[in-house]
Amino acid sequence: MTAAKTVARDVTAEVAYLTRALKAPTLRESVGRLAERAREQSWTHEEFLVACLQREVSARESHGGEGRIRAARFPARKSLEEFDFDHARGLRRDLIAPAPLRRQAPGPSWTGMAPALATIRS
């Protein structure tokens, strides 16, 4: 019985190492619970793998934007609601409005300027 515990610890350590190498923290956190569930419900290896991968992909999709913002190293995250118009003397509060209330500026939307221009009244 000692050999079985040793093997289990080695597998756990190997899973921890491999998920760190793959940068898959969600998988590392959930693989134990998923393995137990797979044993209880007699999943095939493929079903277990799909469940693991679905968990990781879901986490990456929900946190993807946050990671890119951190990687860009912006000084702080700010929104228009937090903007202090008193310090921007050349900018009038009445000229700024939420994008849905403005018409789309001319030009292709992929230029990156259209959403910004659409919020400023000309």
Predicted confidence (pLDDT) per residue in 28-62, tens digit: 999 999 999 999 999 999 999 999 999 999 988 88
Q: Within this chain, do residues 38 and 66 fall inside the same structural domain, yes or no?
A: yes
Q: Within this chain, do residues 111 and 52 fall inside the same structural domain, yes or no?
A: no
For residue 22, what pLDDT is reported?
Answer: 93
Q: Within this chain, do residues 103 and 48 fall inside the same structural domain, yes or no?
A: no
Q: Provide, rounded to the nearest whole percent, the portion of the chain with pLDDT above 70.
A: 67
Q: Within this chain, do residues 57 and 84 fall inside the same structural domain, yes or no?
A: no
- CA dist 10 to 5, 36, 82, 90, 113, Å? 9, 17, 51, 64, 54
Range of the domain at 44: 2-72
For residue 103, what pLDDT is reported?
Answer: 45
| pTM of this structure | 0.48
Q: Coil, strand, or helix at residue 120?
A: strand
Nearest to 32 by CA among 8, 54, 50: 8
> What are the tens digits of pLDDT across the range 60-70?
888 777 777 77
Q: Within this chain, do residues 67 and 84 fall inside the same structural domain, yes or no?
A: no
CA atoms within 13 A on the CB side of 47: 11
Nearest to 52 by CA among 77, 35, 74, 75: 35
Q: Within this chain, do residues 14 and 47 fall inside the same structural domain, yes or no?
A: yes
More confident site: 112 or 48:
48
